[in-house]
Amino acid sequence: MPSGAGDRATGIAMGETALNQVLRGDALIAAIKRAGIRFIVALPDRTTSEHLLKPLLADPQMRVVQVCKEDEGISICAGLYAAGQRSLLLMQHTGLLDSVNAMRGIAVEGRNPVCMMVGLLNKEPGIAPADSKSYGVRVVEPVLDALGIAHHLIERPGDVERIAPAVEDAYARSAPVVMLIGTEPL
């Protein structure tokens, strides 16, 4: 074996393993489609824009409605539900915190299955949101718990399999759900 060939083979294997541990935008999109979602209501989010929102905008199977405020997005998702359509609200955690009253009134008390995918901006990879150095990230789960909103951390490739069942459960219960995106997808 030539010198360094073993190192290259090991590097490729390690690279493939590392790649398999990366959250991928295309895997998120496939899970969204498996859940029967065809409408995306979105605000730009630094965590998910590049590899999730931009490909969704280019996808002819998806309809993307861009909004100015997160609470407006919650209302639009509830309206789409009333029209028999499934939707997903894509936003950043700062917007989720800004829209607590709309979540309470429209999604929780109104019993609307508003499904949200929320980017946790500045969350450290591999660190639980509750242990983040970012105050805003730390309070997201306690706020969702106080509202009684189911939530799931999506940070590794295996976590993506939680998305479709979470959406199905939200529609079966007529209740909101939040998927917290803990790392920027590639």
Per-residue confidence in pLDDT tens, the chain, 186 aa: 334 444 334 343 444 455 568 999 999 999 999 999 999 999 988 888 999 999 999 999 999 999 999 999 999 999 999 999 999 999 999 999 999 999 999 999 999 999 999 999 999 989 999 999 999 999 999 999 999 999 999 999 999 999 999 999 999 999 999 999 999 999
Structural domain boundaries, residue 176: 23-181
* Within-domain flag for 110: yes
* Within-domain flag for 41: yes
Other C-beta atoms closer than 10 Å to the C-beta of 101 total 10
Domain count, the chain: 1
88, 117 Cβ separation under 8 angstroms: yes
- CA pair distance 159, 167, nearest whole angstrom: 14
143, 103 Cβ separation under 8 angstroms: no
* Within-domain flag for 15: no
**DSSP-derived pairing of the beta strands 177-181 and 63-66:** unpaired
Q: Is 63 helix (H, G, I), strand (E, B) or coil?
A: strand
* Within-domain flag for 1: no
Other C-beta atoms closer than 10 Å to the C-beta of 179 total 25
- CA pair distance 38, 87, nearest whole angstrom: 6
* Within-domain flag for 111: yes
| CATH number of the domain bearing residue 29 | 3.40.50.970
Q: Is 120 helix (H, G, I), strand (E, B) or coil?
A: coil
Q: Measured between alpha carbons, how far is residue 22 from residues 57, 78, 126, 142 in Å?
A: 22, 32, 12, 27
* Within-domain flag for 11: no
Instruction: State the Rg of the chain over Cα.
Output: 18
Residue type at 133 in one-letter notation: K
* Within-domain flag for 186: no
Q: Is 153 helix (H, G, I), strand (E, B) or coil?
A: strand
* Within-domain flag for 12: no
This prediction's pTM: 0.89
